[in-house]
Structure 1
Amino acid sequence: MESTRVDTEGLPTAEALAPLLPGGAIRVGGSYSVHESVLLAMTMLQAASAAGAWCAVVGVPSFGVEAAAAAGIDLERLVLVPDPGDQWLTVTAALADVAQIVLTRPLGRVVPGDVSRLSARLRQRGGALVALGSWPGADVSLRVTRSEWSGIGDGHGFLTERRVTVSASGRAGAGRPVDADLLLPAADGTVRAAVPTAAASGPGRTTPVLRPVAVAS
């Protein structure tokens, strides 16, 4: 596993997320918090996985392999531990030794000492952590602040794509939050930057009405 690690000071991330991250990449030794959206967290892994990095997912049973493959994640370099129980932090720390990006869902209280030890291990091994939920001292926290689906008319039709605004904030509120409009997902299942509404309409084109729909992210 170690022979396939990506040796770089910054791990690549999806082009759509680059404007939300300092330097446009995932910092080696860094930690990132993604609130509520499994698809957004999955997108954090995609580019590094495509570049040959090992990825691990701990405590996220809704992380589906079919969706991961469709997102471009290399399943041959993906370790899944859907139900680590109360050993989730131990499992996360162990996988930080062999995977360059570890996605974990915190299932209990995380104390500063645990965060410091895990951060030191990530720096030593050249990895990074993505937490699905809150994480103390996260370099960047990503949160979907606005969500609209398109494709449903007056009570009929099919959902086609979801336009969201993702807000990124730094440690302890340092600096102003940065926002980006994304298609999460687009109609073809990919995640990419959303074209501004005016540009998408263009002369003689009609902008589709986006209606809020309460569905799982």
Structure 2
Amino acid sequence: MQSALRLIFPPLCISCGALVESDFALCGPCWRDTHFISGLVCDSCGTPLPGEEGSETVQCDDCLTLARPWGRGRAALLYKDNARRLILSLKHGDRAELARPAAGWMARAAAPILVPGMLVAPIPLHRWRLLHRRYNQAALLAKGVARAAGLDQCPDLLLRARNTPIQDGKGAEARFANVAGALHVHPGRGALIKARHVLLVDDVMTSGATLAAGAEACLAAGARGVSVLVLARVAKDA
């Protein structure tokens, strides 16, 4: 039966639709155009760094300059070329199925920063934006990461108190001002977060302003520590 279904519905590349060997995979050309992060990375945001991977933790210039409220961070992809196209399709192209393979890439990238008992939570959308989009891509990614890592997840741990303007086109200072105080812990989820490590999940990190707002809210509610994980990192050389 499975073989017959494969003949009728063969697996296709999630990006271009070419034939591939397994479901939810990329074909060779699309894989080469998708920049997976590996090797030496900033321990705070996951951006790739020059040099050889070793036992010591290192940070990028941005994370040395900015006081990050979270501890550690990782990213699966660089936000450019095919990765950018996939993320835009996930966010705005109604292709929620892309969260499944993306969450697997993220879980592999996050392996060094996961701790037992960690609670996985997405960066939230405001209710009006969620109503328009119909799903929160960060929540889909967080659910997949939690399942792959065997961790608990709470899709509504954080709430967005106000409908902040989109961050696109804003400089770093404006991005931080835009989301200042916009996120808070759900009043009914306080017991879940007390003295617990939290892994905040989002699709893209640029300045880190939104993740910082989420981390600050978690720490204020009693979290032991916060780490962050994104599908893609906007790097300066991107």
Band the TM-score falls in, shorter-chain normalisation: under 0.3
Which structure carries more helix by proportion? 2
- TM-score w.r.t. the length of structure 1 is 0.26
- TM-score w.r.t. the length of structure 2 is 0.25
